[in-house]
Amino acid sequence: MKNDILKIENLKKHFGGVLAVDDCSFAVEQGTITALIGPNGSGKTTVFNLISGVTKADSGKILLAGHNLLHLQPHTISNLGLSRVFQQSRLFANLTVEENLMLAFDNEDQKFWASFLGLKNKNQISKKEIIDEYLESMRITQMRDEQTRDLSFGQKRLVEILRALINPHNLLMLDEPVAGVTPELRDKIKETLLTLKAKGETIFLIEHDMNFTLKVADWVIVMDAGQVIAEGTPDDIRHNPKVLEAYLD
């Protein structure tokens, strides 16, 4: 029996007269890398926005580890175990890399009185050590004290992935993690995702780079015009006539 961490059932979303997501149903199995692909405008990012609470769905069900996420606020959804990276950089531009990453841990340190009275200072030290390990693993330790507004596009991407990784989660959602990055960085990200999967992480990603997607994903869901048109293993998808038609249209 499949152990699904995320289940989407009959999800619908209108924007005015446009039906952006039309009765979508699919699931993401725990411990896998699942890719959501489809031509531009097929509704992939809207699905991500609906799951993470950025946009409210019209109807349907979004179940994360059994919790229905429909109508919940993004911060509540995040605290139920969802971590996300956006398509565009959403780092805190005026904070340093370390400050960005420190904010990704749980919310205990940032509670007003605990924070003001310094009750969690010991936590802060151990969290800084964890950050050091993460930065070291990506070989970007030298960026720790830089304001993120000064980083290159690729560096921002890495820091965002690290931030999402540190954010406590059961499911990691990445919206186009390798779009616009150098081939070296692309390989680094691929290596990181495969290492994470080996450690038992569940990853759900949107990606346009088919070569990358079909190499890392265990399961692929294809959307077109707001609907799920196919799903299966990368090999199934590669030869699926409906998928080929959607991309060639």
Partner 1 sequence: MASAYIVHLLILIGIYLILSLSLNLSVGYSGVLNLGHIAFYGLGAYTSALLALAGAPFLLCLLAGGLVAMFSGFLLALPTDKIKGDYLALVTIGFSFIVYSLMLNLDDLTRGPLGLPGIPRPSILGFQFNDNFYFLILVIIIVLIVYLTIKRITDSPFGKLLEATRDDELAAKILGKDTFKAKAFSLAISAFFAGIAGSLYASYITFIDPSSFSLMQIIPIISIVIVGGLASLPGTVLATIILTLIPEALRFVGFPSSILGPMRQIIYALILLLILIYRPKGFWGKVELE
DSSP state of 147: B
Pick the binder of partner 1 from 15, 56, 106, 244 (CB under 8 A): 106
* 42-61 positions binding partner 1, by CB under 8 A: 52, 54
CB of 175 to partner 1, least distance (A): 11
Tokens 């009750």 locate to: 119
Contacts with partner 1: how many residues (CB under 8 A)? Answer: 36
CB of 12 to partner 1, least distance (A): 23
> What does the per-residue mask of binding to partner 1 show for 167-206, with x meaning CB under 8 A?
xx--------------------------------------
CB of 103 to partner 1, least distance (A): 5
Pick from 5, 15, 33: which is nearest to 226 by CA?
15
Determine the longest span between alpha carbons in the chain, in angstroms.
Answer: 63
Structure tokens at 65: 């580890």
For residues 71 and 82, give the distance between their C-alpha atoms in angstroms, rounded to a whole number.
15
* 138-167 positions binding partner 1, by CB under 8 A: 147, 163, 167
Burial class from Cβ neighbours inside 10 Å (0-12, 13-18, 19+) for residue 184 reads exposed
Helix (H) or strand (E) holding 133: helix 121-137
The interface region with partner 1, picked from 26-34, 69-77, 207-215, 234-242 by CB under 8 A, is 69-77
Pick from 227, 217, 208, 229: which is nearest to 37 by CA?
208
The reply to whether 95 sits near partner 1 by the rule CB under 8 A is: yes
Binding site for partner 1 (CB under 8 A): 52, 54, 73-75, 78-79, 83-84, 86, 90-95, 99-100, 102-104, 106-107, 109-112, 115-116, 118, 120, 124, 147, 163, 167-168
